[in-house]
Structure 1
Amino acid sequence: MRPETEADLAGMIASASGPIAVRGGGTRGVNLNGELLETGGLSGITLYEPGSLTLVAQTGTPLAEIEAALDAEGQRLAFEPMDHRGLMGTSGEPTIGGVVAANVSGPRRVSVGACRDFMLGVRYVDGTGTVVKNGGRVMKNVTGFDLVKLMSGSWGTLGVLSEVSLKVLPKPETAACVMIDGLSDGQAVRVMATALGSPFEVSGAAHLPVGPDRTPVTMLRIEGFDGSVAYRAERVAGLFPDHKVRIERDPEAVADTWIRVRDIVPFHGVAGDVWRVSCTPTLAAELAETIKAEALVYDLGGGLIWALVPEGADVRGRLGSFDGHATLVRGSGQPKFQPEPAVLATLSKGLRKRFDPKGILNAGLMG
């Protein structure tokens, strides 16, 4: 099924008698049982007002098309959505609907928030075929119960998105990256916490235990106006007089560095399962040691651990009970999402029953 209009989408869902597997660009490698429903026919930017920092698009619109339109006006999606293709070994084109449905957010989330924090409104079709609208197309018109954030990250289990409205932000004039070499994982987490807690507006904090030159490197990103970036980068570097610190000032080199973090480039083409562990940053190094990973990437100041492990490794079993959750991004043999506590599982089941009474939308994906 490939609807070309929202009305087509509603009719297809209303008449469905069995499971539906919803897919945008197919870049995240999620395979579900059911009749395939592709949203790529729902494509196009329907409203873009640079002066109001607002963009509205149908959900099958390629992310590249949206980023090109924003770039032409000196703007961007500030939450820095990840491109999964290299990690997952997939092709296709990421779509804005897929980004919203999975709440895809990158390293800048640590300073500006996630995709859901930039959502103004949604239109979607629920499991009965009913078209639902929530929020608004511009910031001043956002009203009503906040289904917008509920739909952001629901992975198509509550409804199939047809249109999304987002707040966008201006691109910064320049960027720099404070690089610290040779830190242990524990030292890196403490350094990132210090930098993020400083008044110098760090917009990214990541650590590669094995950097491009095979040695550990900790990275702290500074963005903004040229003079401000130069000043703040020097001040951040000055916070760590006892470490080997350097500052990368070339904007293209900085951008390449953070694409490497955003898309988890160190794991591309490397065999094994990939897990994404959200945790309390202060516990990151300890938890990472428990995982016994073959390779690691720390992001969000240590609040997010990417772990490459042998195929079939039970990362949740190794971690045991901890303050956070582990998601299987690439691999099989384990549930994709962390099993919920009984109370939350009951609430989630109730929500899915209300939004999708027939239980047909991406059935089994989230419990």
Structure 2
Amino acid sequence: MMKPKTEAELAGMVGAASGPLHVFGGGTRPVGKPVTGEALSLADLSGIVDYEPGALTLVAKAGTPVAEIEAALAAEGQRLAFEPMDHRALLGTQGTPTIGGVVAANVSGPRRVSVGAARDSLLGVRFVDGSGRVLKNGGRVMKNVTGYDLVKLLAGSHGTLGVLSEVSFKVLPTPEAVRTLVVHGVTDVAALDAMTRAITSPFEVSGAAHLPGDDPRVLLRIEGFAGSVAYRAGQLTSLLADLGEISEIATPEDNAGLWRAVRDAEALKDRANVWRISMTPGAMVNGLLQALGDDARTYILDWAGGLCWLGADGGPEALHHRLQSLVADRAVNAGGGGHVTLVKGDAALRASVPVFQPEPAPIAALARGLREKFDPKGILNPGLMG
């Protein structure tokens, strides 16, 4: 296994490579098709390079543990507002989540409705392309708008366009108060109604999720200054009073644990196979879940993240193809667009199905062209997204 400690070492290793490279960070997310190639770990390329709390910016090497960054931010009353998911409980993996892995997969959480995804907090990147060249784009401050937006391009490319060596982020203050309203005993349709009312209200909800099952609940998170949070919670309670019993979770610790479970899809950790489905909420409830019938027994709706997490055990290959077909079917997905990703499944399943939603021909051609430009030797995680 190659484990560079500096960007120069990384560039030399990639430039000298004559065969495929399996590029990864902490090894916590085996998502995508299995990659055959020499292992290239970024775990030793680690450390916070620059942190300016007053400027709300942080720069770190790609292999820096997310926990290290979060601890440094917490000491200054700040945070990564897009709350990156920790996949270890869901996937049953070990290792340490790294900030480069977060960027490479654009890993984001339920707060996406109010602050955007990881790529929306990303200010700049340094990376090594498939020829071994060190490239940089963006910067370390928020006022940087020149050049091509390779920052957004690298986010979500899963290491197929370049190997990240350094990333810079804007960060945000931790809010003074947080509360979660819990609407109890709601059906899927009522849950959609509750979340739609909350998100479209003027009361600034930063998280909305539906947990079905024996105790079906809708969770609505409100954050900010204490007085504002109390007022908005009261107004939302009145707005949703006709839907049934509403309780409130007010302690920071209970709120953190609750939303961590939503963020990490912990309710599905015992399922052998898990899919991440991105669709409009109305299409999820009125189209996809109805079409799936008994296949939709175990799921989580993360309205604010625009996601449905679906878990299943038997017949995963057939279900996978069905899911991707349903998302592409405009009779089911009336909103159009969306995609399905197989997040959890064994290597045999991931090798036999299109893990990511197949792209329309024009977009697929554009993606191939980009890979040829950034990775002319075709060595960076080849086939992972194919």
TM-score interval, smaller chain? over 0.9
Deviation at residue 301 of structure 1 after TM alignment: 4.1
Task: Give a deviation string over 1:103-143, Cα, whole Å, max 9, x none.
Answer: 00000001110000001000000000000010001112453
For residue 43 of structure 1, the aligned residue among 46, 56, 73 is: 46
- Specify the code of the residue in structure 2 equivalent to 1:27: T
For residue 320 of structure 2, the aligned residue among 309, 315, 318 is: 315
Deviation at residue 350 of structure 1 after TM alignment: 0.5
2:17 alignment counterpart: 16
Q: 1:347 to 1:216 in 2, by over 3 A?
A: same
Deviation at residue 43 of structure 1 after TM alignment: 0.4
For residue 172 of structure 1, the aligned residue among 153, 175, 178 is: 175
Q: Is the 8 A contact 1:189 1:301 kept in 2?
A: no
**Distance between the aligned counterparts of 2:71 and 2:240, measured in 1?**
38
Q: Is the 8 A contact 1:192 1:205 kept in 2?
A: yes
**Distance between the aligned counterparts of 2:181 and 2:95, measured in 1?**
34
1:330 aligned onto 2:333: no
- Specify the code of the residue in structure 2 equivalent to 1:278: S
For residue 360 of structure 2, the aligned residue among 326, 336, 341 is: 341
1:147 aligned onto 2:150: yes
Deviation at residue 310 of structure 1 after TM alignment: 2.4
Q: 1:142 to 1:72 in 2, by over 3 A?
A: farther
- Specify the code of the residue in structure 2 equivalent to 1:226: A
Q: 1:360 to 1:302 in 2, by over 3 A?
A: closer
Greater alpha carbon shift after TM alignment, 291-300 vs 149-158 = 291-300
Greater alpha carbon shift after TM alignment, 316-325 vs 65-74 = 316-325
For residue 121 of structure 1, the aligned residue among 117, 124, 132 is: 124
Task: Give a deviation string over 1:252-306, Cα, whole Å, max 9, x none.
Answer: 11111101100111112x1321001000111111312323223010003482100
Deviation at residue 335 of structure 1 after TM alignment: 1.9
User: Bigger relative contact order, structure 1 or 2, given CA contacts below 8 A and separation 6+?
Assistant: 2
**Distance between the aligned counterparts of 1:301 and 1:45, measured in 2?**
30
1:81 aligned onto 2:81: no
**Distance between the aligned counterparts of 1:350 and 1:288, measured in 2?**
36
**Distance between the aligned counterparts of 1:62 and 1:8, measured in 2?**
20
Structure 1 segments of 4 or more deviating over 4 A? none
1:205 aligned onto 2:208: yes
Residue identity over aligned pairs, in percent, reads 60
1:61 alignment counterpart: 64
Q: Is the 8 A contact 1:297 1:307 kept in 2?
A: yes
Residue correspondences, number = 363
Q: 1:316 to 1:194 in 2, by over 3 A?
A: farther
Q: Is the 8 A contact 2:110 2:304 kept in 1?
A: no
1:263 aligned onto 2:264: yes
Greater alpha carbon shift after TM alignment, 160-169 vs 298-307 = 298-307
**Distance between the aligned counterparts of 1:364 and 1:196, measured in 2?**
38
- Specify the code of the residue in structure 2 equivalent to 1:314: L
**Distance between the aligned counterparts of 2:135 and 2:249, measured in 1?**
47
Deviation at residue 190 of structure 1 after TM alignment: 1.6
Task: Give a deviation string over 1:44-99, Cα, whole Å, max 9, x none.
Answer: 00000000000000000000000000000000000000000000000010000000
Say which SS state the counterpart of residue 2 (structure 1) adopts. coil
**Distance between the aligned counterparts of 1:284 and 1:339, measured in 2?**
19
Q: Is the 8 A contact 1:175 1:221 kept in 2?
A: yes
Greater alpha carbon shift after TM alignment, 304-313 vs 76-85 = 304-313
Q: Which runs of 5+ in 1 are unaligned?
A: none
**Distance between the aligned counterparts of 1:264 and 1:241, measured in 2?**
28
Say which SS state the counterpart of residue 139 (structure 1) adopts. coil
Say which SS state the counterpart of residue 73 (structure 1) adopts. coil
**Distance between the aligned counterparts of 1:47 and 1:103, measured in 2?**
22
Greater alpha carbon shift after TM alignment, 123-132 vs 135-144 = 135-144
**Distance between the aligned counterparts of 1:240 and 1:302, measured in 2?**
21
Deviation at residue 344 of structure 1 after TM alignment: 0.7
**Distance between the aligned counterparts of 2:205 and 2:143, measured in 1?**
29
**Distance between the aligned counterparts of 1:110 and 1:147, measured in 2?**
23
**Distance between the aligned counterparts of 1:141 and 1:362, measured in 2?**
30
**Distance between the aligned counterparts of 2:271 and 2:280, measured in 1?**
28
**Distance between the aligned counterparts of 1:201 and 1:190, measured in 2?**
17
Instruction: Please give the root-mean-square deviation of Cα atoms over the aligned residues, in Å.
Output: 1.3
Deviation at residue 145 of structure 1 after TM alignment: 1.1
**Distance between the aligned counterparts of 2:82 and 2:61, measured in 1?**
19
**Distance between the aligned counterparts of 1:302 and 1:34, measured in 2?**
34
- Specify the code of the residue in structure 2 equivalent to 1:335: P
**Distance between the aligned counterparts of 2:35 and 2:94, measured in 1?**
18
1:108 aligned onto 2:111: yes
1:365 aligned onto 2:379: no
2:97 alignment counterpart: 94
1:137 aligned onto 2:140: yes
Under a length normalisation based on structure 1, what TM-score does the superposition of the two structures give? 0.96
2:35 alignment counterpart: 32
